[in-house]
Structure 1
Amino acid sequence: MKSLKVGIVAVGMAVGLFAFTDPGERTFEIMKNLDIFATLFKELNTYYVDDVNPNKVIRTGIDAMLKNLDPYTVYYPEDDIEDYMTMTTGKYNGIGILTQHRQGKFLVVMVYEGTPAEKSGLRIGDEILKIDGVEISKAGTNVDKLMKGQTGTAVKLSVRRYGQQQSEEITVTRDVVKMTNVPYYGMINDETGYIDLKDFTGTASREVRQAFTELKGKGMKKVILDLRDNPGGLLNMAVDISNIFVNKDSEIVTTKGKVAEWNKTYTALYPAVDANIPLAVLTNSRSASAAEIVAGVIQDYDRGVLIGQRSFGKGLVQITRDLSYNSKLKITTAKYYIPSGRCIQAIDYSHRNPDGSVGKIPDSLQTAFKTKTSGRTVYDGGGIAPDLPVERPAQSAILTSLYRKGYLFDYANKYRFDHPNIKPGRDFSLSDAEYQEFVKWLGDKDYDYTTDVERKFEELEASARKEKYYDVVQEQLKALKTKFAHSKDSDLMKFRDEIRYLLEQEIVLRYYLQKGLREHSFTKDPEIQEALKLFANQGRYEAILKGTK
């Protein structure tokens, strides 16, 4: 009977393809391969030695097929629709925390502002022992899913707080948790406003407009729009947010794909909220998709200065198609082109290497374009290059080790226990004596690491052994390895500034959550500091936009 059902499904799929496919399409190849797939699964289902789970096997086949196209074409079965809706709307029914399993414990690593979790008194660093009376000690437990549920229902958590031996019961009433697109906005100084845009769900434009309007009311004369670590989202939100800064009827983005009637040019529909305010846009390598549209529009119209690092380079557009049985397919249908005419897609998925891997479009194949107002030269094919590059130094090996081991996290919990209150986020800093207390606390902790130099010595030694030169250079290699061997005590002092900064960030997060974290970064964030320096030199700002810098 199961085999018969598989055959019926295959015939139905084939009929559907014939019904909606143009005669010139490759209908025979499609029919043939669907028939092969159906008969193959029928044979597996009938004769394979163990039971075959059809949902699991077919899902594996679908995922493998889509993986061969690009990472953005994704199948969502009915069981995953809730995750899909959370991704597109930023909403879910739950309590508003993020957990992590570390060293046998489920720890709260983030409490989102304004959520039921924050209102109930849950803190970052709390260890969750039970959910509704059920112990959750196993690493595979999906704690976040257990805490989701219908609005108005309660979930009882048994938690142990740092420094306390006894656990306590906290009851949280679930509600709609909305992950805001703008987690922070405020004034950096008397004239400069700052808007941190982290997503492009359906309310992004409204949130940015509201933030911009409020900051103007507080005297904002210059603005920093932070698009760093923004993975993108809805295209129409990118259009609307660009429209805040560029005039009505300005071309924002054009999409072009296989289905010609779906090609479309999006323009600004409304008068700009402010088409003249000095604007700095911050980007990095994790600014992608819709974030790159906004950054690209600002650059192509010479409307503001881009500061930071080259963006990710995702110039592809996806739409969602409904499938049978309440499933969905998010499918790449087009590339997008910003006002100068360039597509900033960095990876060529249509031309794969013999091993199936993909590579970035080489510089030699990139094309020059001109910005709309000043005629500055910009390029396609590799993301959006900033007007003012800011180099980010590589993170030291000792800081990476401390972070991965969770020692910054743990010490911040200790600091929160020992200090009921601290200064506001933008004013907080650790004294030299307090940093030495942290160093002392690390005394019995295991956080060894290998530096890049030590790693290269190991590679050199292995190469010398392989090529039979080791006996000749053995003494010299040993002497150099001894000279460059790291010392934890020495590195804690050498890299004190970067270690202390991230430790301060962890501590501020315990008291003031995301808003305090952002305000603490104002004085030390290199891109923000570069923007403030630029705003202080109006002549340089204008020269960059005119291409005469």
Structure 2
Amino acid sequence: MPGDRYFEIQKNLDIFATLYKEVNTYYVDDVNPNKVIRTGIEAMLQNLDPYTNYIPEDDIEDYRTMTTNQYGGIGALVGKRNGRSLIIMPYEGFPAHRNGLIIGDEILKIDGIEVANKTSTEISRLLKGQANTKVNLTILRFGNEKEFDLEIKREKITIDNVPYFGMVSDDIGYLKLQDFTTDAGKEVKNAVVELKSKGAKKIILDLRDNPGGLLSEAVNVSNVFVPKGSEVVTTKGKVTDWNKSYKALNNPVDTEIPLVVITSSRSASASEIVAGVIQDYDRGVLVGQRSFGKGLVQATRPLSYNSQLKVTTAKYYTPSGRCIQAIDYSHRNADGSVGKIPDSLKVAFSTKNGRVVYDGGGIAPDIPVERSYLAPITLSLVNKSLLFEYANIYRLENEEITSAKEFSLTDAEYDKFVKWVNTKDYDYTTKVESTLEELKKVAEKEKYYNAIEDQLKELQKKVSHNKESELLKFKNQIKFMLEEEIVSRYYLQAGIVEASFDYDPDITESIKILNNTAKYQKLLSGN
């Protein structure tokens, strides 16, 4: 009965309030009301789902930045590398870039405040401010001993949803969509129109690692490729008045151009709506990895004292009728993927051409591509920022390079890197080594170690890594990642994307299927 439910709500709120009063009055130490109540609120919401969150007044501006991709600042990504606060990427055309800041510049002070012991979040807040206000930075440039001061006028920074689009071959256009904030649909539309004007007869839409965003922009992006009036997504929740079917409202750019959509295990929410629409209408081929599996819709509700609640209000359903929400969204693999969903928990649906697709656990690609495996030595070089540092050295020694697409390190240049990195202090443990170490511990615990000691030591000797030999064994992988770092010093974000075209397995597979018209059409025909 509704009356009983309201009584239980009131009773428990009363218990919570009186409990807090007692704790505040009698607890041995002073209790911070903001901290204690926030902990209680967050613990309550964690019991629901990972996407229902409390946003206090102090965090509203950060939340607004996240949903709009707009803020007042200098236009640069700043991060920590070996304890130093560095410019990781200046965004092209914005104040940091125009004022000459480059990747690797170390920020020592912001408006006279030393930042050595501050977190990246604290530094970001110091850099942000109202547009047209000035911020003074003290910078130390890599390769220089003398620091210098730089005054930069903040601007309204709008980060593009489409940071890159271009041609991967004579007739294949590529665009990277990294967010679904305001104008994502317009940016995709403009990119496709521009690519077609450059001769694109086929399109690759890259949604990898795109966390999603505004549902309305998922509709707009889908609308670029599907006809006006097509159903894109349906939402259903407890409040039936909020249930809604969203349709494509505009004339599409192109409903026939061959299309590949690339997804990864971190393509979520709005990304999955777009991928699901393209798959359900047999509008294009999906390549890559199974998507994240977030089929939930959030709405923001105002609370007292300028705080807000982001609350899950509905589940969304793709045109075929499936909800791709992972059945258990609280337990995931290390890479963010949902793992294998038992067949007994899946329900079959049909695409427009009769192909069978399933709900639960994300969108499965039509052409799976195994996620790239990074060797432990490569991960160590990345985590220790050694590739980052060597790219700075290379830039200091080489004023210019060829185009990002053509750039490649010679064997002699790679050997020079190997000699340099061998002077650095870094180490790592391979998975085989850690497994053998675990086996040793279990054997000792269960009293088997003496019986297998000789064999175990022989195995450990055989698999014990040698850094110098592994720099050669995994040369292609390390060389590729080093080339990306180096290219970014000359061509920024666009350079990183273009440098990956020849080595990226997802892009390589996408090009292959687009160039095989018969296979492309057969995949979508349902036969």
**TM-score band w.r.t. shorter chain:** over 0.9
Amino acid at match of 1:218: K
Instruction: Measure, in 1, the Cα distance between the counterparts of 2:373 and 2:390.
Output: 23
Q: Which residue of 2 aligns with 1:215?
A: 195
Q: What corresponds to 1:485 in structure 2? A: 464
1:438 aligns with 2:417: yes
User: d(CA) in 1 for partners of 2:118 and 2:60?
Assistant: 24
Distance 2:305 2:339 in 1: 36
Check whether the contact 1:101–1:139 (CA below 8 A) recurs between aligned residues.
no
Report sequence identity in percent. 62
Structure 2 residue 151 is matched with structure 1 residue 171: yes
CA distance in 1 between counterparts of 2:514 and 2:114 reads 55
* 2:304 aligned counterpart, secondary structure: coil
Q: CA, structure 1 residues 25+322, in 2 after alignment: closer, same or farther (shift >3 Å)?
A: farther
Superposition deviation, residue 45 in structure 1: 2.1
Shift of 1:96: 1.4
Aligned residue type for 1:95: I
Question: Does the C-alpha gap of structure 1 residues 80 and 212 become closer, same or farther in structure 2, counting only changes over 3 Å?
Answer: same
Map residues 320-339 of structure 1 onto 2, 5 A cutoff.
Answer: 320-339=300-319
- Structure 2 distance, partners of 1:67, 1:54, is 20
TM-score (norm 2): 0.96
SS in structure 2 of the partner of residue 426 of structure 1: coil
**Matched ranges for 1:130-169 at <5 A:** 130-140=109-119, 142-169=122-149
Q: Distance in 1 between matches of 2:33 and 2:79?
A: 32
Q: Distance in 2 between matches of 1:360 and 1:492?
A: 34
- Amino acid paired to 2:102: R
1:379-404 CA-to-partner distances (Å, cap 9, x unmatched) read 10010000011112421010011111
Alpha-carbon spacing, 1:349–1:130, altered in 2? closer, same or farther (3 Å): closer
The amino acid that maps onto 2:188 is: V
* Aligned partner letter, 1:504: E
Q: Tell me what 2:277 maps to.
A: 297
Output the CA distance in 1 between the equivalents of 2:391 and 2:14: 60
2:334 is matched with which residue?
none
Please state how far the C-alpha of 1:140 moved relative to its aligned partner.
Answer: 4.0
1:24 deviation in Å?
4.8
- Cα distance in structure 2, aligned partners of 1:508 and 1:486: 30
Query: For each residue in 1:314-334, what CA deviation from the matched residue of structure 2 results, as whole angstroms up to 9, or x when unmatched?
Result: 000001111111111110011
Q: 2:235 aligns with which of 251, 255, 258?
A: 255
Query: Pick from 65, 70, 73: which aligns with 1:86?
Result: 65
Matches within 5 A, 1:478-517: 478-517=457-496
Partner residue, 2:335: none
Which amino acid is the alignment partner of residue 216 of structure 1? K
1:124 aligns with 2:103: yes
Displacement of 1:102 in angstroms is: 3.4
SS of match in other structure, 2:305: coil
From 6, 17, 37, the equivalent of 2:16 is 37
State the 1:50 CA deviation: 2.4
2:430 matched residue in structure 1? 451
Offset of residue 213 of structure 1: 1.1
Q: 2: CA distance between counterparts of 1:132 and 1:52?
A: 35
Specify the code of the residue in structure 2 equivalent to 1:164.
Answer: N
Q: Given that residues 347 and 359 in structure 1 are in contact (C-alpha distance below 8 angstroms), is that contact kept between their aligned partners in structure 2?
A: no
Amino acid corresponding to residue 170 of structure 1 in structure 2: L
**Cα 1:323–1:136, aligned 2, differ >3 Å: closer, same or farther?**
same
Structure 1 match to 2:349: 369
Whole-Å Cα distance in 2 between the matches of residues 464 and 24 of structure 1? 61
**8 Å Cα contact 2:76-2:91 kept in structure 1:** yes
1:356-407 deviation digits (Å, cap 9, x = unpaired): xx997533211111102x1001110010000011112421010011111110
* TM-score, length basis structure 1: 0.92
Question: Who is 1:50 aligned against?
Answer: 29
- Listed as ranges, the matches of 1:466-477 within 5 Å are 466-477=445-456
Matched letter for residue 394 of structure 1? Y
Q: Distance in 1 between matches of 2:16 and 2:363?
A: 42
Deviation of residue 137 (structure 1)? 1.8
The code of the aligned residue for 2:171 comes to E
Letter of the 1:440 partner, please give it: K
3-state SS of paired residue (1:151): coil
Q: Is contact 2:167-2:174 (8 Å) kept?
A: yes
Question: Which letter maps to 1:420?
Answer: E
The separation in 1 between residues aligned to 2:181 and 2:102, in whole angstroms, is 27
Q: CA–CA distance in 2 between the matches of 1:192 and 1:495?
A: 31
User: What runs of 5+ residues in structure 2 fail to find an aligned partner?
Assistant: 332-337
Corresponding residue for 2:47? Answer: 68
Contact 2:82 2:384 in 1 (8 A): no
1:164 Cα offset (Å): 0.3
User: Displacement of 1:350 after TM fit?
Assistant: 9.8
Q: Distance in 1 between matches of 2:497 and 2:363?
A: 24
Counterpart of 1:236 in structure 2 is 216
Give the counterpart of 1:272 among 222, 238, 252: 252
Q: Could you list the runs of 4 or more consecutive aligned residues of structure 1 that deviate by over 4 angstroms after TM superposition?
A: 22-25, 358-361
2:316 aligned counterpart, secondary structure: strand
State how far apart, in whole Å, the 1-side matches of 2:351 and 2:32 are. 55
Give the 5 Å matches for 1:354-433: 362-372=342-352, 374-433=353-412
Contact 2:348–2:357 (8 Å) recurs in 1: yes
Shift of 1:23: 4.2
Letter in 2 for 1:318: Q
Q: Distance in 2 between matches of 1:237 and 1:104?
A: 38
TM-align CA RMSD: 1.7
Rounded to whole Å, the distance in 2 between the matches of 1:349 and 1:395 is 26
Quick one: distance in 2 between partners of 1:503 and 1:327? 44
Contact 1:348/1:360, CA 8 A, preserved across alignment: no
In structure 1, C-alpha distance between the alignment counterparts of 2:478 and 2:4, rounded to whole Å: 60
Q: Give the alignment of 1:334-353 within 5 angstroms.
A: 334-348=314-328
Q: 1:266: how far off? A: 0.9
Structure 1 gaps of 5+ residues are: 1-21, 352-357
Specify the code of the residue in structure 2 equivalent to 1:364: S
SS of corresponding position for 1:325 = helix
Distance 1:220 1:401 in 2: 39
Q: Residues 247-281 of structure 1, C-alpha deviation per residue, up to 9 Å, x if partnerless?
A: 12111111011111111111111232111000000
Aligned partner (choices 274, 277, 285) of residue 265 of structure 2: 285
Cα deviation, 1:177-211, whole Å, max 9, x if unaligned, reads: 11110000111122111111000001101111111
Does structure 2 conserve the Cα–Cα contact (< 8 Å) formed by 1:368 and 1:380?
yes
Aligned length: 521
**Equivalent of 1:190, from 170, 191, 194?**
170
Q: How far 1:540 sits from its partner (Å)?
A: 0.5
Equivalent-residue separation in structure 1 for 2:206 and 2:112 (angstroms): 43
Give the residue type in structure 2 aligned to 1:196. Answer: K
